[in-house]
Amino acid sequence: MSEEEFDYDSLLNTAYEAVPETVKSGERFEIPHVDVMNEGKMTIIRNFTEICEKIRRDPNDVIKYLLREFGTAGGIEGRRAILKSRISESSIQARFNTYVETYVICSECGRPDTELVREGRILMLKCDACGAKRPVTVRKGPKPADKPKGPLVVGNIYEVSIEATGKRGDGIARMGAFTIYVKGNYRKGTRLRVKIEKINGTNAFASAVP
């Protein structure tokens, strides 16, 4: 073979051309936002099937996940999902973010171009964009240390893990039935101690403390 055939730049260009466009773009996938409406004691996700189509997942699987997470009944009506409990939009978004991170996003390239395949008893997430494959690790719920012994108390300090980011940039954490909004900008997965400043229903507002 000629030296030109072994030219590093030529080989690099050839390899790059073979990479799928979804990986070349370098664009990070953004998790869709839920459009939630509360009617009495019911919660309606108005863009439910639209979101499922974007992440390429069966709506029946997604609704089962949400109903299990919230411990409520419900189902799909047309293109909407109905939850038979009054749940805040931020709580639904946080659970949905967890679903996408667990069952959709490739941990290697960050793309949603994946599919779920079963190898024996193990559920695997296979990426069509970069070829990576990983076992699906399902979150079993917060660690015992994260569960309050009783209702959250204003002025008390708790250790939490940030699970999502709100529209205003605040960190969102969960503890038991409570959704905690933490002032400041925090990355998902950040663990910190927070002081509860205000509680409104199942929503709590806090600030980080040393």
Report pLDDT for 200: 82
123 Cβ contact partners less than 8 Å away, ≥ 6 residues apart: 116, 117, 135, 136
Looking at the chain, the whole-number percentage of residues with pLDDT higher than 90 is 29
197 Cβ contact partners less than 8 Å away, ≥ 6 residues apart: 154, 205, 206, 207
Q: 10 Å Cβ neighbour count for 123?
A: 14
pTM recorded for the entire structure: 0.56
- Judged by DSSP in three states, 4 sits in helix
The candidate with the shortest Cα–Cα distance to 96, out of 59, 136, 127, is 59
Average of per-residue pLDDT across 188-204: 85
Higher-confidence residue of 49 and 18: namely: 49
* Alpha helix positions (H), the chain: 8-18, 21-24, 48-55, 59-70, 89-103
Report pLDDT for 107: 81
Contact of 182 with 162, CB cutoff 8 Å? yes
Confidence grade of residue 139 (pLDDT, cut at 50, 70, 90):
low
Higher-confidence residue of 63 and 24: namely: 63
Of the listed ranges 44-58, 112-126, 134-148, the one predicted with least confidence = 134-148
78 Cβ contact partners less than 8 Å away, ≥ 6 residues apart: 49
Report pLDDT for 27: 53
Higher-confidence residue of 140 and 163: namely: 163
* Domains of the chain and CATH, by start: 36-135 (3.30.30.170), 144-209 (2.40.50.140)
Tokens of 58: 């069966």
Convert the pLDDT of each residue in 101-113 to its tens digit: 899 988 888 888 9
Convert the pLDDT of each residue in 173-189 to its tens digit: 888 778 888 888 888 88
Q: Say yes or no to pLDDT of 5 above 90.
A: no
Higher-confidence residue of 114 and 24: namely: 114
Report pLDDT for 2: 47
Average of per-residue pLDDT across 70-80: 93
